[in-house]
Structure 1
Amino acid sequence: MTVNTEDFHGGVSIDPDRVRWAMWGEVDAAVQSRVEADLGEHLRATADEPLTVDLSEVTFIDSGGLRLLYDAAEAKPTPPVLVGTPGKVLDLLRLSGVETMFVLQD
């Protein structure tokens, strides 16, 4: 999935060659509503494959972005690997009690 980054303040791109997402900018409820269907389709199409999510370019995340990560964790047989998780995102994962649903990698 390709997203025109000029039109949005944040988003999620899906690497078509790997089971990998890259989240960037402000991942909020607006982003969630815009990408949720595509991400769900990707999760179903790659159900048995491990997912990696690159968070290194995320500047803000709210419950909408957290929901996207939670849904990914629930859909996969193994915990998604979160790469480059900013401190603010890590704090939200811990505060929400879902940190253990993921593998954190630098």
Structure 2
Amino acid sequence: MPQPTTGGIRIERDGAHWVMWGEVDAAVAEATEHEVAAALSRHSTVSLDLSGVTFMDSGGLRLLYLAAASCEQPPRIAGAPENVRDLLDLANVTDLFELES
């Protein structure tokens, strides 16, 4: 069973916009997987606000990748902190997203 987390994801605009904050880890991914899948079933692209993310591991990366794999257009990511940009680079998936400054 996942431990309590200090991060999360809020899905807005009927699923077209996601706001992530805090520690986006495997526990957050597991807790929100169904909500994320439902949001992706309603939209051909999504925008993501990561400005409040303090940490992201492979669980959070999986949520981002799920968005990229499900959308017709690259998801737009705003406010990605340096550690998340580094994670995207390390995983070699940066080109799957439209990164805003």
Name the TM-score, length of structure 1 as normaliser: 0.88
In the alignment, residue 95 of structure 1 is paired with which amino acid? L
Q: Once superposed, which parts of structure 1, at least 4 consecutive aligned residues long, lie more than 3 Å away?
A: none
1:44 to 41, 46, 68: 41
> C-alpha separation between the residues in 1 aligned to 2:76 and 2:35?
19
Cα contact 2:53–2:81 (8 A) shared by 1:
yes
The count of aligned residue pairs is: 98
Q: How far did residue 8 of structure 1 move?
A: 4.1
Task: Name stretches of at least 5 consecutive residues in structure 2 with no aligned partner.
Answer: none
Please give the alpha-carbon distance, in whole angstroms, between the structure 2 residues aligned to 1:92 and 1:40: 22
2:59 corresponds to which residue? 64
| 1:90 Cα deviation after fit | 0.1
8 A contact 2:40–2:70 mirrored in 1: yes
**Deviation of the 1:61 alpha carbon:** 0.1
Distance 1:19 1:105 in 2: 17
- The Cα offsets for residues 49-92 of structure 1, whole Å up to 9 and x where unpaired, read as x2100000000000000000000000000000000010000000
Q: How does 1:4-83 map to 2 (within 5 A)?
A: 8-17=5-14, 19-46=16-43, 48=44, 50-83=45-78
Aligned to 2:90: 95
Q: TM-score, normalised by structure 2?
A: 0.92
Q: Measure how far apart 1:17 and its partner are.
A: 4.9
Q: Secondary structure at the match of 2:20?
A: strand
CA distance in 2, matches of 1:61, 1:55: 10
